[in-house]
Amino acid sequence: MNRLELAGLAARPAQVWGGIRLVPLVREQPVEGLRLHREIYTGYGNGVVDVGPRTHYTSYIPHGFVADWSGEGVRSAAYGTQLGTGNSPGNPPRTARLHRNRHHRMAKRQPGDRLRFLPLHLAMEGYLALHFGGPAVAWEEWSRQALRDGLSPRAEDAYMGWSVRGLGDALRAFEIHPGQCGVMVYAADALAAAFVLPHPDDYRLLHPSLVQDLYGELVHQYALYGAPVAEFAARISDGPHLRSLAGLRAAARAQEREWAEAHDTLFARELLDTSYTFDRVYRMGSFTLWRFLPPFLRNGEGQHIGETITDHKGQVAYLKTFRLSEAQIRRGHLLHRLSDADWRLSQAAVALGTTEEELVRRIRAAGFESLLRARA
């Protein structure tokens, strides 16, 4: 599996609000056997997450998602919360040490087929932990600190949905389609996020949560500085062939179809055509929770990290993506090239088609200054 398959989801005409374009994704049939719910945390999104023994990170966490594949229905998941407890090595437990009220604690006692996870944090953590350990071989260019601690600590900035200009209003004025299970958010016609859920009811519930999510720096800037985007209004050419109401109806239908095709090939292409590295996080029955990383190609196209839940056929039941900014892609690219070259600067410079001095400059520019020894 190296691609996202949005089979079963059809794009409906976009709704535009200022610089934000929202494209609804509609399912004919909801995905059987999986529901998602929201779990709300106190503390206005301040959260600390344990990612391993004596390792934790602090981040903005407005809510968690509860994946429920018990098939028991809506109510059960609101009470039941099972934290991921993979104790095996190599699959560190992701537990959140958060302020929980008694409600949660009570429910924790009865484990069910439920999984709580923090939306976008799986993906973000995957990105932050890229070659986290730093150089594996002690080449002389690398500092002591790099060898001892690796890339620690790494931090990335993100913006809350509230601060993405126009997004709150766009989501408020958006008219949810019947059967809608997802949405693609565009800021100044750049894909900012994709959000897919298994069931329309879940979507209705989680639609407002989009405004609390994380968005990349690029999205924030596009929304702030971008002009209002044009609406793709329907156009029917009224040639002499159009002689009956049936003909008019056919032309109207064609407009709707055209839009769906145009969206998949034009707008969402960068998301759907990229091959990703998938990393399995959790198995739950026939569903699998993955996180994925893009290839970090520097071809100027948008690259997305994210997480997804697929069923046994590979169909996407849940999807949430985060668009990386140019600088973030550059960092990922650099780390990958360095790792491929066993962290040997000379070899990496050849692979990148540049000189060693230039590579050192790029490493510094990417904010990894502390990795290098002072003399270099």
Partner 1 sequence: MATSTETTRTGTGADLVAAEDVLLFVNAAITATGQREFRSTAYQQRLSLDFLHEYVRVNYRRVYAAALALDINDHNAVRIAQGLLESAADANAEEKRTEGRLIAARLAKLPPQRVYRLFRALRGAKVNNRRTRAIMRDWLAARPDPAHDAVKYRAGLKTAARHVHLRFGGPGEPGETGDFLFRPGRRPRYRHQLLDAWRRAHYEQGAVDELPFTVAEGFAARHGMKREVFLERMVPRMTRLERLRTQGQRSTGDDVRLPTDIDLTVMPLTRLALYVLSLGFEVRGLHRKELTHALRTAARRAAGPHAGSWGRVAAVLDDSYSSSGSGEKRRRPLAVALACHFLLEALAAPGAYIPLWTSGGTDPLLVRPWGPTPLGTRVLDALEHGPDRLVIVSDGWDNAPPGLAGEVLRVWRSRLDPDRRTAVVHVNPVYDADGFDVRRLAQGVPTAGIRDAEDLPALVEIAQFAEGLTGPAALYAYLDRQVARFVSGEKAGAAS
> Which residues in this chain contact partner 1 in the complex, by CB under 8 A?
12-16, 24, 173, 175-178, 231-236, 238, 242-245, 248-249, 251-252, 255-256, 259
CB of 98 to partner 1, least distance (A): 33
Beta strands 277-284 and 287-293 are antiparallel
Question: Cβ closer to partner 1: 88 or 244?
Answer: 244
Q: Which is nearer to partner 1, 15 or 81 (CB)?
A: 15
Minimum CB distance to partner 1 smaller for 15 or for 143: 15
CB of 114 to partner 1, least distance (A): 30
Report in angstroms how near the CB of residue 248 gets to partner 1 at its nearest: 6
Nearer to partner 1, 14 or 334 (CB): 14
Q: Which is nearer to partner 1, 231 or 369 (CB)?
A: 231
Q: What Cα–Cα distance (Å) separates residue 104 from each residue in 78, 80, 220?
A: 9, 8, 34
Per-residue tokens: 26: 């509609």
Place of tokens 């028991």: 72
DSSP string, 29-85: SPPTT-EEEEEE-SSTTEEEEEEETTEEEEEE--EEEEEE-S---HHHHHH---B--
The nearest distance, CB 20 to partner 1, in angstroms, is: 14
Pairing between β-strand 316-323 and β-strand 304-310 as defined by DSSP bridges: antiparallel
Least distance from partner 1 to the Cβ atom of residue 27, Å? 15
Residues 312 and 286 sit within 8 Å (Cβ to Cβ): yes
Instruction: Compute CA distances 73 → 36, 85, 316, whole Å.
Output: 10, 23, 20
Could you give the CA distance from residue 279 to residue 264 in angstroms, rounded to a whole number?
A: 25
Question: Distance between CA 224 and CA 226 in Å, rounded?
Answer: 6
Which residues lie closer than 8 Å to 85 by C-beta, 6 or more apart? 93, 95
Please, what is the minimum distance in Å from the beta carbon of residue 255 to partner 1?
Answer: 6
| Nearest to partner 1 of 16, 289 (CB atom) | 16
